[in-house]
Amino acid sequence: MPTPAAPAAPATPSASPPGLIQIRNLAKSYRRGDQHIPVLLDIDLDVAQGEFIALMGPSGSGKSTLLNLIAGIDKPSAGTVEIGGIDIATLGDGELSDWRAHNVGFIFQFYNLIPVLSAFENVELPLLLTGLSARQRRERVAQVLALVSLSDRADHFPNELSGGQQQRVAIARALVTDPTLIVADEPTGDLDRSTGAEVLTLLEQLVDELGKTIVMVTHDPKAAARARRMVHLEKGVLVDELPPTSSDMAKATPPPTPPPTPPSSPTTAPEA
Ligand code: ADP
Ligand code: MG
């Protein structure tokens, strides 16, 4: 550390109000044989509910590692990641996958659709981990496919869809359980400029119209500019954060009690 650190009491490390995501003194390292590889060093970050934040940085700077820690697919070496007041390192493996199934939607660079399943079936997949009936699942899938303007492609297989359409199917899949948080790792990285722009517009809509919180990894400054706030990673350290504008702050102000899963969520509905 360059300067003597402040006492352990949690300071206010960023300009954003406390909210959905609270990361404190987060460190992650990997072990390879007897080699110890530090990847994230001492990360503090707050993300309010309803924010759209871009995580930028060169290849290898730790962006995906940080995103995976936020999404609960990896565990910290030190420090804490709290989402909606839950320190996710305290959850057991079963609890964690259940928590993820209800609270986090994932969007990947190469869509990660299952080739032998139709668009409809790909979107339905996360709902199979919930207690919804077949009819409730059908209704919910139809709803989110309409939201991404792909109702007329429900029976198509991934190889019958363009890259942009496949990514919209993947966005529908991320949304289907009505998670509070959506994490996206280079969601436009495999798309041409104009198709990528359409996907970004859709992500903006999820924030503005559905109140989703999005953490998006990208190394494309044009994509990052569509987010409401950018943070930069350099060699595992967060550098120069650009605060959101005051109007974005107003939009991002969390409701009085931000529940990890909204009450309207279909995933909390009992079996019909
Ligand atoms: P980015 O997404 O910014 O390109 P990553 O988070 O994927 O970077 O990786 C950051 C660093 O951590 C890289 O040097 C990478 O090789 C290393 N790393 C990532 N995952 C592992 C792992 N499972 N085991 C060992 N090293 C890893
Ligand atoms: Mg990456």
Taking only the tens place, the pLDDT of each residue in 62-72 is 999 999 999 99
Which pLDDT does position 219 carry in this prediction? 87
The CA 46 to ligand 1 mean position distance, Å, reads: 22
Q: Which atom in ligand 1 lies closest to the alpha carbon of residue 59?
A: 4
Superfamily for domain range 21-253: P-loop containing nucleotide triphosphate hydrolases (3.40.50.300)
Q: Calculate mean pLDDT across residues 77-85.
A: 96
Which residue's CA lies nearest to atom 17 of ligand 1?
Answer: 39
Q: Has residue 235 got a pLDDT over 80?
A: yes
State which ligand 1 atom lies nearest to the alpha carbon of 65: 6
The model's pLDDT over 100-130, given as tens digits with 9 standing for 90+, comes to 999 999 999 999 999 999 999 999 999 998 8
Q: Cα–Cα distance between 82 and 11 in angstroms, integer?
A: 16
Ligand nearest to the CA of residue 186, numbered in listed order: 2
For residue 129, the model assigns a pLDDT of 86
Ligand 2 centre distance from Cα of residue 180 (Å): 22
User: Closest Cα to atom 19, ligand 1: which residue?
Assistant: 65
Cα 39 to averaged position of ligand 1 atoms, centre (Å): 7
Would you state the pLDDT for residue 153?
Answer: 98
CA–CA distance, 196 with 224 (Å, rounded to integer) = 12
Handedness of CA 263, 266, 267, 268 (dihedral sign): positive
Q: How far, in Å, from the CA of 73 to the mean position of ligand 1?
A: 14
Q: Which ligand is nearest to the CA of 36?
A: 1
Which residues on adjacent β-strands are paired with residue 216? 54, 184
Q: Which ligand number lies closest to the CA of residue 65?
A: 1
Give the model's confidence band at 272: pLDDT under 50 very low, under 70 low, under 90 confident, else very high: very low
Residue 249 C-beta-side C-alpha neighbours within 13 Å: 11
Cβ contact 86:163 at 8 Å: no
Give distance in angstroms: CA of 58 to centre of ligand 1: 12
**Cβ atoms within 10 A of the Cβ of 177, count?**
24
Which residues, 6+ apart, have CB-to-CB distance to 223 below 8 Å? 54, 187, 188, 196, 200, 216
| Ligand 1 pocket by Cβ (under 6 Å) | 30, 32, 37, 39, 57, 59-65
